[in-house]
Amino acid sequence: MKIALAQINPIVGDLQGNRRKIVDFAHQAYRQGAELVIFPEMCVAGYPPQDLLDMPAFIEAVAHTVETIALEVPRELGVILGAPIRNEIPVGKRLFNAALLLEGGRIVARVLKRLLPTYDVFDEYRYFEPGPPQPVITWRGLRIGLHICEDMWNNEDWAPYHLYDENPIDELAAQGIDLFVNISASPFSLGKHDERSRIIEGICREHGVPFIYVNQVGANTELIFDGDSRVHAPDGSILLCAPSFQEALLIWDTEAHHAPYVHRRAEIEDLHDALVLGIRDYFYKTGAFEKVVLGLSGGIDSAVVCALAVAALGPERVVGVAMPSKYSSPESVEDARQLAENLGITFHILPIMPAVDAFREMLRPVFDELPEDVAEENIQARVRGVTLMALSNKFRYLLLSTGNKSEMAVGYVTLYGDTNGGLAVLADVYKTQVYRLARYINARAGRYVIPKRILTKPPSAELRPGQKDTDSLPPYEVLDVILQRYIERREEVDEIVSATGFDRTLVADILRRVDRNEYKRRQTPPGLRVTGKAFGIGRRLPIVMRWNRAVLEEVRRNHTAALQTQSERTS
């Protein structure tokens, strides 16, 4: 039997566009001799549809779209696809997350998702009712253990903790199957390819059957989906794997011999291609913009964002703007111009000092003779933000924010200045990774697309004479290690100090900075997610709170004192 894996890029809510894509891929698969074609989770609606699922009109439209797809695909072809369907029982949530098997113009079988992730970026229990234990689907003599995304992620026996008390994989295998099929909308994060491989290889070795995994590709707002669809042999080895970050149609002939798939992508290649896809899909799927615009400071962050935007959209759709102040070095303007020339983009120089001076004169009666401080520095950043937003409004440009995760973590950004924009490209990329990206971009091009001086000069906001980032922050090689351990591994001060040997006072100060700058991050543009724990929808902390590390120490002291008092009373 020939089975097709359709790795497609749906748009959330675009039911007609998604229908046309599904039907087109189904016909392609049929022409190539496939008997069955498999599409990703929720591909009819696009993932994640969020509160569109609360709209009865949307759910009705999805149901009609599924029926139309069933009538438009080849009648002899089996089609597995994902969609939300109504829960007809008046108990529980109103919807199920379903995998539907279409054949002969109708739905012939359905499987309901059992494990509903409600953590990090996922919020499925907000909308869906968990399905009951699901039967194996027998189709043309093939017993298929069909399941949906999270249903395969509770299967690691060695894991110290399991989120669910059910294991759909083992339950399906116990019924006797010939093939596992998982349809997914699994977002990308660095290292996800290997993580999926480990899970699926373990399932195959445990149960001795092949495994098909079909994942969505594309980006929807913050989330990037890499695809990574594949076929695993019963021994766990990968037979076929779709290219990452692009649509693909794979045909697996179950009777043919396939040499094991051995290609491995470098992590920096994944990071680069994920960000390019994130920019491209945000730009085109919103459909609201003519070009993108960004400030070019002559620094590393804006240079990398500019290069990524050109890779995503082409130089004809990218506009760079240098906005020097009296503190900007001539070299920074030269570097920005050289970058623009190297990339072939439109470039403007708009000096900001007339606007900065006007603000200072306006504020003089209030500021009186107070010494200059961060207030005057931030006026410069905010004038730049106003300038870029004016260009955005006038010419329908999407403003790309260039701040990185390291700066956003500790609040080393100017609210309503360099945080302005419609999309924060590097919001989940640490500063040290930005430098790695710059070197990768140059190596990929075989030349200095990003000028060498940008890579070698000390990073600086250039808001006061001689300013360097290290005036306010530890070296990024130190800062990023602390941030990664705190944000992604959830380690506390003692654990970080023990693992790194860094000064305890420094570590505690960095963690305090992260906590107290939540209010800034809450007001920044949506950022592309590329790690296991990004700021935004995947990390939700209150702005108004009294929690900090000192509270823990106080609680410990009070607890010790109470135990001592109790001991004395008992004596």
Catalytic center residues: 41, 113, 149
CA distance 154 to 169: 8
Q: Could you give the 3-state DSSP secondary structure of residue 293?
A: strand
Please state, in angstroms and as integers, the Cα–Cα distance from residue 94 to each residue in 135, 323, 528, following that order. Answer: 22, 53, 31
For helices 504-516 and 549-570, angle between their N-to-C axes, nearest 10 degrees: 110
Q: Where are the beta strands (DSSP E) in 202-328?
A: 211-215, 217-220, 223-226, 230-232, 238-241, 248-253, 291-295, 318-322
Contact 45, 66 (CB under 8 A): no
Contact 183, 40 (CB under 8 A): yes
Q: Burial of 86 by CB count in 10 Å (0-12 exposed, 13-18 middle, 19+ buried)? A: middle
CA-nearest of 524, 513, 499 to 549 is 513
CA-nearest of 454, 451, 501, 453 to 481 is 501
Cβ atoms < 10 Å from Cβ of 559 = 10
DSSP assignment of 152-218, as one string? GTT--TT-S--S-S--HHHHHHHT--SEEEEEE-----TTHHHHHHHHHHHHHHHH---EEEEE-EE
CA distance 423 to 414: 16
Token pair in block for residue 529: 């997610």
Rg of the chain (C-alpha set): 27
Opening angle at CA 181, ends 116 and 114, nearest 5:
20
Q: How many CA atoms lie within 13 A of 118 on its CB side?
A: 11
Please state, in angstroms and as integers, the Cα–Cα distance from residue 83 to each residue in 59, 108, 126, 394, following that order. Answer: 10, 15, 16, 40
Cβ atoms < 10 Å from Cβ of 264 = 9
Q: Burial of 206 by CB count in 10 Å (0-12 exposed, 13-18 middle, 19+ buried)? A: middle
What are the backbone dihedrals phi and psi of residue 179, each rounded to the nearest 5 degrees, phi first?
-160, 135
With tokens 């006061």, the residue in question is 464
